[in-house]
Amino acid sequence: MDPRHRVVIITGASAGIGAATARLFAAAGAKLVLAARSREPLERLAATLPGAVAAPTDVSDPAQCRALVELARARHGRVDILINNAGVGLAGPVVELSSDDLERALAVNLFGPLWLMQAVAPLMRAQGRGQIINVSTVLAEQPLPYLGGYAAAKAALERLSETLRMELRGAGVSVTVVRPGSTRTEFRARRLGAGGEQRRLAPPAVPPETVARVILRAARREPLRAYVTVGDRMAIWLARLLPGPVEALLSRAITWEPVAGPALPRPDAPPAQGHGRDNL
């Protein structure tokens, strides 16, 4: 779908991949409704993009998700593209995962996108046209040690995306999953700085603008799934071809040394906005 003159909702838009995506879609002529928990950076970004609307939103709240979609509809009369990009990280051994941390990660990474899809799908069906782009991760296909909770949330999001695509078949609404690998963002730096993960394998991270370009291309071409780099795609292919050796390699390359500090940012800490894909 050509983004020009289209109404586009982008979550996690105050920084990282979300902010880079907003800039690219604005340059392509889209009418933007930008959502994130951090009001000030969100409003600063919106002020630099012609016609963009800042809508401070916590996607872990279903009422706020519905209000976001209603704001876009009230402002522009329709919603053409939803980009579910907001996310929080979760690192730690599976046997030590806190249910509170996991529930908080699921609320943002799984339930938030679900509530937004449920809100926009009827509008798009009535319009006869629309697109949902869910920013996932290569971890949804091949998890890494100590990122199991995060990978589980994204794998569940992908299964919902695929099911919704089948259920909307014939309605003119497409559903695309974008699978980034490692991306250079504050989101990534915060997680790596707070956890006890030790890596002997660290592929280079791409800038958020690279992921944003893939999201823009996905909007135009409407594929079922999009990868950011050839390396990401090849890593998944190799994991499918040689699952045992790949798991053995990853278990040796990534270890965990417990350190003080939460697996997720504290509720009163500045939120990690945007989708700082940090999975490799």
User: Residue with structure tokens 């417990």?
Assistant: 258
> Is 146 one of the catalytic residues?
no
* Secondary structure of 226-241 as H, E, C letters: EECCHHHHHHHHHHHH
Name the active-site residue from 111, 115, 146, 150. 150
132, 167, 176, 274 from 86: Cα distances, Å:
14, 24, 16, 5
Can you give the three-state secondary structure of the chain, one letter per residue?
CCCCCCEEEECCCCCHHHHHHHHHHHHCCCEEEEEECCHHHHHHHHHCCCCCEEEECCCCCHHHHHHHHHHHHHHHCCCCEEEECCCCCCCCCHHHCCHHHHHHHHHHHHHHHHHHHHHHHHHHHHHCCEEEEEECCHHHCCCCCCCHHHHHHHHHHHHHHHHHHHHCCCCCEEEEEEECCCECCHHHHHHHHHCCEEECCCCCCECHHHHHHHHHHHHHHCCCEEECCHHHHHHHHHHHHCHHHHHHHHHHHEEECCCCCCCCCCCCCCCCCCCCCCCC
Catalytic center residues: 150
